[in-house]
Structure 1
Amino acid sequence: MTEIPQTTFKRVLLKISGEALMGDQGYGLHPPTVERIAREVRSVQEMGVEICMVIGGGNIFRGLAGSAQGMERTTADYMGMLATVMNALAMQSALEEQGVYTRVISAIRMDEVAEPYIRRRAVRHLEKKRVCIFAAGTGNPYFTTDTAATLRANEMNCEAIFKGTKVDGIYDKDPVKHDDAVRYDRVSYDEVLQKNLKVMDASAIALARDNNLPIIVFSLDEPGGFRGILAGQGTSTTVHG
């Protein structure tokens, strides 16, 4: 029988971009990639951790990009929110295929496909060991899914935000383009803002700082990475006070 690693975390929020669900495609959903991430989430749940998720929508539609092409910003942002609901439903399906009870909770009411956001009900789902996927951002235009993730993590009393990316932490410059990029082990909220390190948008970082909520950045492309980071293994960067 495989030994389950121990972790000090009891409740966390996993934030991933919509692009993380594309795999090697240039657009949309790549079912094997969605399934792989679902397995990662299940493996962490098996450690006894309560999990929330927020998934971006950039693999389908990004509101800011639509606005830049002449679309009215509010409309474009609402379209982006709907893209996050599509991603959340795909992840819910993949998780339930893995035997993980899951609830999609939307900030915009669409009762036929998702629950409305009610804080106490969401907390109860977590207590019952269901994964809660928060969709549609904050329900308001001009706010990113980064800000939504930080807001929900605070409301759910999560102990940390785990941000899964394509690299194993925060670097002083893009490690894909620069061989001499230096990775931070730990960095403060203020340094992230001052150096414009592109971890999350400024509103999300400020909200995390004001509530002393750590943000742990790690590689979601690394098999077993989420589980390993929670167990204190692997490479990551912690944003802290």
Structure 2
Amino acid sequence: MGVLVAGAMMTVSLAAQANTGAKAASDKAALDNPAADVRTHERWEFGPVLNGGNGLYDRSSYHFVWAGVQGGKALTPVIHAGPLTGQFEMGVNILPFWQAYTPAPYSQTVMVNGQPVVQNYGGGTFRGVSIMPIIFRWNFVTRSKRFTPWFQAAGGVLYTTHKFPPNLLVPKGTPGGTSVFNFTPQGGIGFHYFTRPKRSIDVGLNAVHISSASLGDKNPGVNSSLQLQIGYTWWK
């Protein structure tokens, strides 16, 4: 009986040592190459994001700031495709803080049937919330142990407390305005830079289109804007 107990204890001890050794080896591998560790284990990611940008062309006087949280999960192992070798990920952004700064409201006199008519246009600061429930991201595999570049395409929904973008003002309940609901299709490039195992600083540059898809009577939209996004990510 004593021999059996001793044997069982020895087996448990050896198993514990093996597990400890395996964990130590895994931790060392993650420390040596945090980018590869994230790819190998297809980890979850989450963290805060801060975004700022400007409209382009006819919307160059528009400025944007938004902040929130992002999450994602690698869905595939590394797919070998020559220079495009990488890993597919899906993610989501939730942005409870969204602001757009537009030119101040103004009035303009136009001639209608030979008579001067004063038209009032909206403007100023617009506030809202946004969610991007669909983010498709391709993380490239490189030789770097800390640097992982990516490109992405995403789609989202934006709600603002006043109709956006500003346009000719119309009395409440009168047709002719824009919409408080808009869509935000976008695409861009970026990278993760791993400061240590399971931690990264993220930088992205996205081209964002804002449009109501004619949910309002008018849909001037923001045809293009360039947005810089900075975040910090925990990987689990």
- Same fold at TM > 0.5: no
Higher relative helix content: 1
Tell which structure's C-alpha radius of gyration is larger.
2
TM-score normalised to the size of structure 2? 0.23
Higher relative strand content: 2
Higher relative contact order (CA 8 A, sep 6+): 1
TM-score normalised to the size of structure 1? 0.23
